[in-house]
């Protein structure tokens, strides 16, 4: 099963990817693990190894190795060219793309399903989609039901190719060792199961937005003063907050790696990694909240709940921008992480000064008593 990443909560993907890369560089190969549950984003880094993944998420990205199966319901599921799945894939998603290697079978239902040119599927491929394209290698048979179906020039199918599609295009260069048969009866039975359903890509975005809003509402309700101080720090010195955020993003994984290579420090490293992941989510929400506060200040409005909504919705829209969307999300993460670290440090110093003041008062009082 997996770790997330967050399409903050849900979409703090960029951060989790960065953390995974740094951690894997320090240890060579990440310890095997599994994930089961719900998350904004589930990311398996290039040098990470998971036993299996079973979950609901906005996005599932596999750049590393999953030795077992993947079972997921998500907005997007992507196995990149470096991804290697030792078992089967069963998924329902708005978009499914496989560019890597899958040793077992692939059974997917989605709005769009693409098997890229570099894809290698060792078993059978079962697809139910609005649009489906096969450009890679499938050693077994293919069963596909789609509105539009494409068998590309680089496609290679070791068994039969059975399909039911309103529009079917087969390139002359495509290789099919078995028979190519149109079968009107398979339309409703393709995909993960007989009750196949598809999730549009916006489902993941809405899920992430909802999760972020719940976290933000909790932070504002339980820590109203602290949350305001975090937002104020970003507004007053965004460059400082961003710089500290970068340093924190580098330093914390480095420390966790150092702990990980020591036997005594392994438990602390694992607990620290989980805690840091939660901190990243909190920092992302705080960063987006702070930008919302700033945006409302331009209109002379001061409402923390409205600021939270404006910030989260605004970044959800910006995050959906192709190619550069992740940059805005990373910026919010760095601002929030830096401001969070600085505000926590300030709070710690205040408590220290307060304790010192109380101790001084007690000392003075004791001195006066002695004099009397």
* Together in a domain, 210 and 189: no
What DSSP string describes 10-44?
A: TB-HHHHHHHHHHHHHHHSSPPPEEEEEEEEEEEE
Residue where a domain terminates, one of 158, 178, 198 = 198
> What pLDDT was estimated at residue 54?
86
Contact 100, 115 (CB under 8 A): no
3-state class (DSSP) for residue 299: coil
Structure tokens at 67: 């030795």
% of the chain residues with pLDDT over 70: 79
d(CA 72, CA 147): 23
Q: Which residues contact 1 (CB under 8 A, 6 or more apart)?
A: 34, 35, 36, 37, 50, 51, 52, 53, 54, 55
pLDDT score, position 257: 81
Q: Based on the domain organization, do 216 and 349 belong to the same domain?
A: yes
Shared domain for 211 and 344, answered yes or no, is yes
Q: Which domain holds residue 206?
A: 202-353
Q: Which residues does 9 contact at the CB level (< 8 Å), separation at least 6?
A: 40, 208, 211, 212, 215, 281, 284, 285
Q: Specify the pLDDT at position 363.
A: 54
Q: At residue 199, does pLDDT exceed 70?
A: no
Let me know if residue 278 belongs to a domain.
Answer: yes
Question: What pLDDT is attached to residue 4?
Answer: 37
The per-residue pLDDT for 140 is 96
φ/ψ of 161, rounded to 5, equals -125, 100
Evaluate whether residue 30 is within a structural domain.
no
Please check whether residue 318 is in contact with residue 301, taking contact to mean a CB–CB distance below 8 angstroms. no
- Model confidence at 350, pLDDT cuts 50, 70, 90, reads confident
pLDDT at 359: 60
Based on the fold, state whether residues 281 and 141 are members of the same structural domain. no
pLDDT at 190: 53
Task: Please name the helix (run of DSSP H) or strand (run of DSSP E) that holds residue 121, with its range, or none.
Answer: strand 120-121
What's residue 34's pLDDT? Answer: 75
pLDDT tier at 56, thresholds 50, 70, 90 = confident
H runs (alpha helix) in the chain = 13-27, 202-222, 224-236, 238-260, 266-298, 304-319, 325-371
User: How high is the mean pLDDT of the chain?
Assistant: 81
| Residue 197 pLDDT > 60 | no
Quote the distance between the C-alpha of residue 277 and its chain's center: 11
- Find the range with the poorest average confidence among 187-201, 280-294, 308-322, 324-338: 187-201
pLDDT grade for 276, boundaries at 50, 70 and 90: confident
Same domain, 193 and 307: no
Q: 243 lies in a domain?
A: yes
Instruction: Assess whether pLDDT exceeds 50 at residue 22.
Output: no
Q: Which pLDDT value is given to residue 183?
A: 86
pTM recorded for the entire structure: 0.48
φ, ψ of residue 159 in degrees (nearest 5): -115, -145
Residue 187: inside a domain:
yes
What's the mean pLDDT in 303-312?
93
Closest CA to 145 of 125, 162, 128: 128
Instruction: Report the pLDDT value the prediction gives residue 139, as an integer from 0 to 100.
Output: 96
- Quote the pLDDT of residue 321: 78
Q: How far is CA 266 from the centre of its chain?
A: 24
From CA 155, how far away is CA 134, in angstroms rounded?
6
For strands 137-138 and 120-121, give the pairing.
parallel
Pairing of strands 142-151, 161-170: parallel
Q: Would residue 138 count as lying in a domain?
A: yes
Co-location of 235 and 142 in the same domain: no
Residue 176: inside a domain: yes
Same domain, 213 and 310: yes
Rounded CA-CA distance 117/108 in Å is 18
Query: What was the pLDDT predicted at 202?
Result: 59
pLDDT of 224 above 80 = yes
Residue pointed to by tokens 């000392």 = 363
Residue 324: pLDDT band (50, 70, 90) is confident
Residue 194 confidence (pLDDT): 39
The residue with greater pLDDT, 50 or 350, is 50
**Spatial CB neighbours of 37, under 8 Å, sequence gap ≥ 6:** 1, 55, 56
Share of the chain above pLDDT 90, in %: 51
Residues 16 and 280: beta-carbon distance below 8 Å = yes
Domain shared by 177 and 215, yes or no: no
**Looking at per-residue confidence, does 260 or 135 come out higher?**
135
Residue 210 — φ and ψ, nearest 5°? -65, -45
Residue 97 token pair: 């793309």
Does a structural domain hold residue 29?
no
pLDDT at 59: 86
Whether 253 and 147 share a structural domain: no
Rounded Cα–Cα distance for residues 16 and 10 (Å): 10
According to the model, what pLDDT value does residue 100 have? 96
Q: Which of 7-21, 137-151, 202-216 is least confident?
A: 7-21
- Residue 269: which of 259, 278, 280 has the closest Cα? 259
Token pair, residue 301, equals 């409005």
Predicted confidence (pLDDT) per residue in 120-132, tens digit: 999 999 998 889 9
Kindly state whether residue 143 falls inside one of the protein's structural domains.
Answer: yes
Q: Are 21 and 51 in contact (CB under 8 A)?
A: no
Regarding whether 213 and 271 lie in a shared domain, the answer is yes
Q: Are residues 151 and 208 in the same domain?
A: no
User: What pLDDT score does 356 carry?
Assistant: 62
Do 239 and 192 fall into the same domain?
no
Give the number of domains in the chain.
2
pLDDT confidence of residue 18: 38
Q: Is the pLDDT of residue 150 over 60?
A: yes
In this prediction, residues 143-149 reach a mean pLDDT of 92
User: DSSP string of 88-113?
Assistant: -EEEEEEEEEE-SEESS-EEEEEEEE
Which residue reads 């550069």 in tokens? 324
């Amino acid at each position: 099963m997996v770790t997330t990443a967050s399409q903050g909560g849900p979409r703090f993907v960029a951060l989790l990817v960065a953390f995974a890369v740094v951690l894997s560089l320090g240890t060579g190969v990440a310890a095997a693990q599994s994930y089961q549950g719900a998350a904004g984003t589930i990311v398996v880094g290039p040098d990470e190894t998971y036993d299996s993944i079973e979950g609901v998420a906005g996005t599932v990205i596999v750049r590393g190795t999953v030795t077992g199966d993947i079972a997921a319901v998500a907005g997007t599921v992507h196995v990149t060219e470096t991804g290697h799945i030792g078992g089967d894939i069963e998924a329902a998603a708005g978009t499914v793309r496989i560019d890597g290697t899958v040793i077992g079978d692939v059974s997917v239902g989605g709005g769009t399903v693409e098997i890229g040119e570099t894809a290698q599927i060792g078993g059978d491929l079962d697809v139910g989609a609005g649009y489906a394209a096969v450009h890679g290698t499938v050693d077994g048979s293919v069963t596909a039901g789609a509105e539009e179906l494409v068998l590309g020039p680089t496609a290679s199918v070791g068994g039969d190719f059975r399909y039911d599609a309103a529009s079917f295009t087969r390139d002359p260069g495509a290789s099919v060792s078995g028979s190519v048969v149109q079968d009107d009866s398979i339309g409703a039975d393709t995909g993960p199961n007989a009750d196949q359903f598809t999730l549009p890509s916006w489902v993941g975005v809405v899920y992430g937005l909802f999760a972020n809003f719940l976290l933000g509402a909790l932070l504002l309700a339980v820590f109203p003063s602290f949350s305001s101080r975090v937002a104020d720090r970003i507004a007053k010195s965004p460059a400082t907050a961003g710089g500290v955020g970068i340093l924190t993003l580098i330093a914390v994984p480095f420390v966790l790696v150092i702990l990980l290579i020591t036997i005594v420090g392994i438990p602390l490293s694992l607990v620290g990694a989980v805690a840091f992941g939660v901190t990243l989510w909190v920092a992302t929400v705080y960063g987006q909240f702070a930008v919302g506060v700033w945006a409302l200040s331009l209109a002379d409005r001061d409402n923390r709940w409205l600021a939270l909504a404006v910030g989260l919705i605004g970044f959800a829209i910006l995050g959906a921008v192709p190619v550069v969307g992740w940059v805005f999300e990373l910026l919010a993460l760095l601002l929030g992480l830096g401001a969070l670290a600085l505000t926590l440090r300030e709070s710690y110093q205040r408590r220290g000064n307060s304790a010192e003041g109380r101790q001084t008062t007690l000392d003075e009082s004791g001195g006066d008593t002695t004099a009397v």
